[in-house]
Amino acid sequence: MSVQPTKTVAPYKTKKGETYMNPKQLDHFRSILNNIKLGLGEDIDRTVHSMQDDATVFADPNDRASQESDMTLELRNRDRESKLIKKINEMLAKINSGDYGYCENCGIEIGLNRLEARPTATLCIDCKTLDEIREKQVAK
Ligand SMILES: [Zn+2]
């Protein structure tokens, strides 16, 4: 079974003098986010099916053990995916409320390029950098 790559949305082309986060831009990011969500949804369905299929196959204890660690890994992936889906839903809510594209910390525009690369970004690059420095200091 081949894995289909998630259909990508072509990068947004800004027109001169266009307002930041106008309805067209919001539509653009809404479809990017929905696309990611759809791709994740398919992955989760696939995991559930493959887990059901595998469950009856192995009788050998060694196979069972490796099957179990596969499942642990799958479940961990699914956990990460469900967190990402939650995040995407939050971003979609932000689009609807008009908060999308602005830094949660200082309120400035996050910028189209940054959002194009990271549609779930909630901080501007400056705040993100400071955040990472702070995280590193905590980890030490
Ligand atoms: Zn900021």
**Do 128 and 121 touch, CB atoms closer than 8 A?**
yes
pLDDT at 2 exceeding the cut of 50 = no
- pLDDT at position 139 is 76
* Cα–Cα distances in angstroms (integers) from residue 110 to residues 7, 23, 94, in the given order: 25, 17, 13
Residue 125 Cα to ligand 1 midpoint, Å, equals: 7
Q: How far is the CA of 102 from the centre of ligand 1 (A)?
A: 8
The CA 84 to ligand 1 mean position distance, Å, reads 22
Q: Does residue 94 surpass a pLDDT of 90?
A: yes
Residue 131 pLDDT exceeds 90: yes
Ligand 1 centroid, distance to 21 Cα (angstroms)? 17
Q: Calculate how far, in angstroms, residue 94's C-alpha sits from the geometric centre of ligand 1.
A: 16
Scanning 15-108, the segments in alpha helix (DSSP H) are 23-54, 61-97
Does residue 2 or residue 126 have the better pLDDT?
126
Residue 69 has pLDDT above 70, yes or no: yes
Confidence of residue 40 (pLDDT cuts 50, 70, 90): confident
CA geometry: angle 14, 98, 10, nearest 5 deg:
35
Domain with CATH 1.20.120.910 in the chain: 21-100
56 marked as binding residue: no
Residue at 14: amino acid letter: T
Mean pLDDT of 34-41: 88
The rounded Å distance from CA 46 to ligand 1 centre is: 38
Six-digit token string for 106: 């200082």
Residue 10 identity (one-letter amino acid)? A
130 is in an annotated binding site: no
Answer CATH for 21-100 from 1.10.3470.10, 3.20.20.370, 1.20.810.10, 1.20.120.910: 1.20.120.910
Nearest to 95 by CA among 6, 24, 8, 37: 24
Query: Tell me: the pLDDT tens digits for 95-116?
Result: 999 999 999 999 999 999 999 9
DSSP line for 90-130: HHHHHHHHT-TTB-TTT--B--HHHHHH-TT--S-HHHHHH
